[in-house]
Amino acid sequence: MASRLLLRPSRALAASSAGISPTRALSSCARRLQQSQSPEEDGRTTHFGFETVPEAEKEARVGKVFSSVASSYDTMNDLMSLGIHRLWKDQFVRSLNPGTRTSSPGNAWSILDIAGGTGDIAFRMLDHATNINGDLHSKVLVSDINPDMLAEGEKRSLQTPYANTGRLDFKVGNAEKLDFVESDSIDLYTVAFGIRNFTDKEAAIHEAFRVLKPGGVFACLEFSHVDSALFNMVYKRWSFGAIPLIGQVVAGDRDSYQYLVESIEKFPTQEEFTGMIEKAGFMVPGKGYENLTGGIASIHKGIKP
Amino acid sequence: MALRRCRIHKLSPTLTGKKCVSSTQSAVRTYYSIHHPDPAPFPPIQAQILSTALKNVPRLGFSRDALLSGCRENGYLEASAQLFPRGVYDLIHYYLVTQRLALKEKVQFQQDAKLGLTQKVKTLTWARLQANVDDGIIEHWQDALGHMSLLENIPASLKELGNLSDEIWYLSGDTQVDFGWYTKRAQLAAVYAATETFMSTDRSKDYADTKEFLDRRLGDVRVVGGTVGGAMSYMGWIAGNGLGLARSWGMKKDAEQQPNNLVGISLFGNQDEVEAMSRLKKKLSSMRNNRS
Q: At A4, which amino acid appears?
A: R
B82, B90, B152: which to substitute to probe chain A, counting the most A Cβ within 10 Å?
B82
Q: What is the ipTM of this complex?
A: 0.76
Give chain A positions within 8 Å (CB) of B47. none
What gap in Å lies between CA A130 and CA A167, rounded to an integer? 11
Contact B78 A188 (CB under 8 A): no
Cα distance between residue A23 and residue A20, in whole Å: 8
Please tell me the predicted confidence (pLDDT) of residue A15: 43
pLDDT at position B21 over 50: no
Q: Are A211 and A190 in contact (CB under 8 A)?
A: no
Instruction: Give the pLDDT band of residue B167 (cuts 50, 70, 90).
Output: very high
Residue A37 has what pLDDT? Answer: 44
Nearest to A154 by CA among A175, A169, A173, A137: A169
What is the separation of C-alpha A69 from the centre of its chain, rounded to a whole number of angstroms?
13
Q: Do A283 and B82 touch (CB under 8 A)?
A: no
Asked if pLDDT for residue B247 goes beyond 80, the answer is yes
Residues in B closer than 8 angstroms to A284, CB to CB, are 22-24
Q: Which residue in chain A has the smallest CA separation from B17? A: A271
Q: pLDDT grade, residue B269 (50/70/90)? A: low
- CB contact at 8 A, A121 and A188: no
Cβ atoms of B49 and B78 within 8 Å: the answer is no
Give the pLDDT band (50/70/90) at residue B254: low
Say what percent of chain B tops pLDDT 70: 84
- Those residues whose C-beta lies under 8 Å from the C-beta of residue A275, and which sit 6 or more positions away, are B12, B13, B14, B20
Q: What is the mean pLDDT of each run of 10 residues along chain A (305 residues)?
A: 47 45 48 46 77 84 74 74 91 94 85 91 95 93 91 91 92 92 95 91 95 96 92 91 85 83 91 95 93 93 95
Cβ separation A286–B22 shorter than 8 A = yes
Euclidean distance between CA atoms A268 and A279, whole angstroms: 14
Q: Which residue would you say has higher pLDDT here, B109 or A217?
A: A217
pLDDT in tens, B75-101: 999 999 999 999 999 999 999 999 999
Residue B150: C-alpha distances to residues B65, B154, B158 (Å): 20, 6, 12
pLDDT in tens, B176-189: 888 888 889 999 99
pLDDT digit string, tens, across residues B23-68: 444 556 788 788 888 888 899 999 999 999 999 999 999 999 999 9
pLDDT computed for residue B268 by the predictor: 54
pLDDT in tens, B196-209: 999 999 999 999 99
How many Cβ atoms from other residues are within 10 Å of residue A285's Cβ?
A: 26
Average pLDDT on B153-160 reads 96
- Secondary structure of chain A as H, E, C letters: CHHHHHHHHHHHHHHHHCCCCCCHHHHHHHHHHHHHCCCCCCCCEEEECCEEEEHHHHHHHHHHHHHHHHHHHHHHHHHHHCCCHHHHHHHHHHHHCCCCCCCCHHHCCEEEEECCCCCHHHHHHHHHHHHHCCCCCCEEEEEECCHHHHHHHHHHHCCCCCCCCCCEEEEECECCECCCCCCCCEEEEEEECCHHHCCCHHHHHHHHHHHEEEEEEEEEEEECCCCCHHHHHHHHHHHHHHHHHHHHHHHCCHHHHHHHHHHHHHCCCHHHHHHHHHHCCCECCCCCEEEEHHHCEEEEEEECC
pLDDT of residue B228: 79
**pLDDT tens for each residue of A194-206:** 998 898 999 999 9
Nearest to A180 by CA among A169, A188, A166, A193: A169
pLDDT recorded at residue B266: 54
Residues of B whose CB is below 8 A from A220: none
pLDDT > 90: what percent of chain B? 56
CB atoms B22 and A214 under 8 Å: no
